[in-house]
Structures are given as structure tokens and as C-alpha cells.
Structure 1
């Protein structure tokens, strides 16, 4: 097969084969040496890291205290569990800790973390503010003022959000749990077709601090056109499609300036302009 190959070509092939053999040999030698160098480097790096860590810990740069603020609904124990108190405070990756904390609870909106040298980590939690209960078919969710679903009502937990390592906090925790439960239980309910599409109306009515607005228990969107408002005494106010603000303001005016007794009625119908129909 090589009979047609010239002498010079054979010499060239031998040189190529020799080059390939030498290259493979050097590659194996270098790879083996590189692996040893890498292992040695990793060993010394780990040794130096342990020395620096020990030096920092021995000089008071520890994690002795973790302060969590701003959490009404987020359990701080879940946050404590994310922090390795055995490592120096300088070794805490703030960005990684922030990302980990944000995944702890759906209530968390923003997180800021600061080192307070020599031994304190301060964590501030900004939570979503519960605005209302939104009922959609058979689901009830807690939403914020922008209509964002915070958490499903069935997942709302009333466990303590602060650590009870000190005995005299037990009474505080009972009060805290009751306050959070009352806050959720007293949220207005929003329901009906496309009820979140006109959330501005709900916010405007609730932010207008009147005696009637403080008695509202629910808003019902009717046909994606208008609203019914139900008060705590189960009185239903049927507002018109056009100018519902004016109708509600007029009802507040009647409430404040006349002897019109709201408790005597089950329905106040204001859907027709300039007319009010009532039903016991």
C-alpha cells in the first residue's frame, strides 16, 4: 500500500507520527502536573481561608445578633435559618442572603440587609400591604392595593412572626397574632365579574374616610358595568353605572344630615339618576 509513496513522503509521515506521539506525551505530562498544581493551590487556598476565618472569629467579627424588622406576616425563624452563625460576619454574602430571604414568604416585597460591625446583621423587610379579599369563583385571595395576589386565603397562617426565646414575649405574641388575624378578617371583600379591572373605584371609596366607608364589608362588581356596596349590617347599596361617586357622596350626605335610618332597609337602589328606592 506504501509502494507508491516516495522516500521523502515516508520521512514526512514519520515526522508527523513522531510529532503526534510527542504531543500526546507532553499533554499527559502537563495535564498530570496541572492537576497537581490545581490540587495544591486549592489546598493552600482552603488553608488560608480557614486561617482568615479563625482570625476574624477570634477578634469578634462573629454573627452574635440578627435583627429583623418590618415583618408582620413573615416568620423571622425562617430568616434565622438562612444564616450560618458559625462563619465570620464578613463572609456573609449580602446579595445571596437577600435572594434567599425573598424566597421565604410571598408577603415579602423588598429586603435590605446590612452588616453592623463587629457582630450584628440587620435585616429590614418590606411586605406587601393587604388591601382586600378577592373572591374569584371558589378561590379567595388576599390582594394588595394594585390588585396583585399576595397569598391564597387558605394558606394564611397566624403563627408568631417573632422568636419566643424570651418568656416575657408570650403575651406579646398572643396580642400580635390577634392583631394580624383581625387585620385580615376586617379586610373588605371584592367579588364579581372583572372586579379588579376597576380597583381604583374601591380605593377611592375606602380612602375617603367617612362613617359609611368604615362600615363597608364588600364590593360587588355587577356585569362589569357598576358596583353594589354591602355594609356591615348587610344593607346593599346599588350604585348607578354613570357617576357612582356622586351617588355615594349623596348617600353620605343623607347619612350625615338627615334622620334617614339605614338599619331599617336591606336595599338602597340608586341606579336611576335622581331617584332612590328602598326595600326593607
Structure 2
């Protein structure tokens, strides 16, 4: 009886037609992969791929849990974090660095920026800021600019007070040349409150005692050299004057203050001298 059952079992068993090279249960795995592929296709088609990836990444421990920011001095961290725009549910895998780079680069203080993904859960941001070079005033607007004349900020903090002051439209484009000119005269530079660009062609220097030095469009360096020599020898810039005009090649024209001019007229009147052209 037992032998008959075994014989019957052998007769009804299906033959194994699987190729020798095909792993066992390969068909099952293929079917599962086929179903998973169609499922992913449906997710993508429905526009939910990023959401699913974020959810899976977060479950696997690849969500952004730390942001490291370095190199900033003037920029507040909250500005950078705001520009990074990291969503509440996020994935380091799907985070768009290119878009973040563009947003952070739009912060005026940023000169260069580097954003890196450090797996499993860290975003590293390295900032190189622009260097404040001068203050630029046009009308009622006062800004901090860099060496290239680009506006960095319109908020003037106390520590910027010592920067060179440039006044007038177009002055920002010539900031580097202006500062270089002043640097050649270290005894005069600390006495200059501002450089005023006139008609975008030449400079007037305003000293801390109110005297205005009118420089020529060409040859400003030579004109200042002569002025500094006169001041060292005769104390010209400490006298009761309001302006020194250096635009003429053959002379220096000095404008007296009202008080000095009146005293000069009285002196000429009492002495009986003939006054020349009043300067």
C-alpha cells in the first residue's frame, strides 16, 4: 500500500524545466521587481517621487539634521539658513544644491560660496565675504562698497566710519583709483573727510577743517605733491581759507574765508595799497 502511494506520487510530480543557470525562485523575484517597477512608474507619473524619496531617506537616517556654516563675519546665520530653504521634511539625497547655491550667492555680502553634502545627514556651507573698501554717497543714500565699486550694504555700522568716503554718481567706479591717490600722501590722507567726484571727471577733496582742494582732471598726483610741499613749508592748509584750486598749470589759487577776506580788504584800505584780483 505504501509502495503504491509512492508510485502514484512519482507519476503526478511536475518535471523541473528550470535552466540550470537560473537561481531558484528567480521567477518570484522577477515578478516582485516587475510590480515594484510599475509601482515606481506610477509614483513618478503622479509627481510623488520626491516625497517618497524623502520619506524613505528620512526613515533610513539620511535627512538633513545639521547645517555647518563657516567663513561669515558680516552675514547673519539666519540669512544663510533662510536662503538655503531646507524643508521640514527633507532628504540629503534630493536636496537641490544648485538652487541653494544661486539663492545664497544673491546675498550681497557673499563673494564666493561652497555647499557640500556630507552623508549621512550634514550640509556644509563655506562662505567668503566681500571686503568693505569705501563708503559711497549719492544724494541721501550712503552705502558700503567693495574695491570694484559693488554695493554691499546700505546699513552703515560704526566700524565702517573709518573707510574712505566717496561722494557723487560714478564715484564708486573710481574708488580704487581715488584711494590709491590718497595713499601716496600719508600726511594728507588722514585730513581728508571725503572725495567728491565732479561731473564724473575730477576730484574735489574736502578736508576735516572744511577746506576744499580742487584737483585737475589730469595730473592730480603732481598737483597734490606741490600742495603738500607748500603746506609743509608754509602751513597753507592751516590758514583761514576755504578752498585751494590746483586746476591751473601755472598757479595755485587760494580762496580766503569771509573773515580773512574782510581783514585783507581793511589792511589794503589802511595801507593805501592797490588790491589785485581778490582770491
TM-score (norm 2): 0.60
Alignment of 1:8-23 (within 5 A): none
1:99 aligns with 2:102: yes
Q: Give the drift of 1:67.
A: 1.9
Q: Cα gap change, 1:193/1:115 in structure 2, threshold over 3 Å: closer, same or farther?
A: closer
Larger Rg: 2
RMSD of the TM alignment (CA)? Answer: 3.7
Could you list the per-position Cα deviations for residues 110-130 of structure 1 after superposition, in whole angstroms to 9, with x for gaps in the alignment?
321234455543322233333
Q: Distance in 2 between matches of 1:95 and 1:40?
A: 25
Residue correspondences, number? 215
Which of 1 and 2 has higher RCO (CA within 8 Å, sep 6+)? 1
1:238 aligns with 2:238: no
Kindly indicate whether the alpha-carbon contact (under 8 Å) linking 1:67 and 1:123 is maintained by their aligned counterparts in 2: yes
Extract unaligned runs of 5+ from structure 2: 1-37, 258-279
Extract unaligned runs of 5+ from structure 1: 1-34, 157-179
TM-score (norm 1): 0.60
Higher helix share: 1
Q: Distance in 2 between matches of 1:207 and 1:251?
A: 15
Kindly indicate whether the alpha-carbon contact (under 8 Å) linking 1:63 and 1:88 is maintained by their aligned counterparts in 2: no
Question: Which secondary structure state, in structure 2, belongs to the residue aligned with residue 258 of structure 1?
Answer: helix
Alignment of 1:1-280 (within 5 A): 38-39=41-42, 50-57=55-62, 62-72=64-74, 74-81=75-82, 82-84=85-87, 87-103=90-106, 105-117=107-119, 119-151=121-153, 153=154, 156=155, 181-192=157-168, 194-196=170-172, 198-199=174-175, 201-208=177-184, 210-255=186-231, 257-258=232-233, 260=235, 262-264=237-239, 265-278=241-254, 279-280=256-257
Could you list the per-position Cα deviations for residues 44-87 of structure 1 after superposition, in whole angstroms to 9, with x for gaps in the alignment?
96656533432234xxx753342232341x22112223334764
Question: Which secondary structure state, in structure 2, belongs to the residue aligned with residue 77 of structure 1?
Answer: helix
Question: Which secondary structure state, in structure 2, belongs to the residue aligned with residue 266 of structure 1?
Answer: strand
Question: Which secondary structure state, in structure 1, belongs to the residue aligned with residue 123 of structure 2?
Answer: strand
